[in-house]
Amino acid sequence: MIGLIDAAGRRSAFLVGHDWGAAVAWWLAEHHPERLGHMVVLNGPQGAVFRKHLLRSPSQWLRSAYILFLQIPKLPEAIARLRQWRLPNGA
């Protein structure tokens, strides 16, 4: 994000983050707050809050397990290609 802000020739930016983009926004706010003018986060808890819930809630571990799948290099893309980019529910 810093590179994008710099490439736009700006000192700071307004940032909107949703889901995994929210995690990026929170990280940027924690590490480079001077580079944000304003920030909006949708559907993404702040990192410390998320870690707290992961440590205390087995059900949150289950709800977040898909993240591990997405970390396996090339596997999600390969499965998506095999399914001709259709969602698992057939949509």
Q: 72 to each of 32, 51, 53, 62, 85, how far by Cα in Å?
A: 29, 21, 24, 17, 18
The answer to whether position 90 is within a domain reads no
pLDDT (tens digit per residue) in 15-39: 999 988 898 999 999 999 999 999 9
The answer to whether position 44 is within a domain reads yes
Residue 12 belongs to what domain range?
A: 2-82
3-state secondary structure of 86: coil
Residues 53, 44: Cα–Cα separation, whole Å:
13
The answer to whether position 88 is within a domain reads no
Q: 83 to each of 1, 17, 37, 73, 78, how far by Cα in Å?
A: 32, 28, 41, 18, 9
The answer to whether position 91 is within a domain reads no
Report the predicted TM-score, pTM, of the whole model to 2 decimal places.
0.66
pLDDT (tens digit per residue) in 32-63: 999 999 999 998 888 888 888 888 888 888 88
In the chain, the number of structural domains is 1
Which 8-state DSSP code applies to residue 16? E
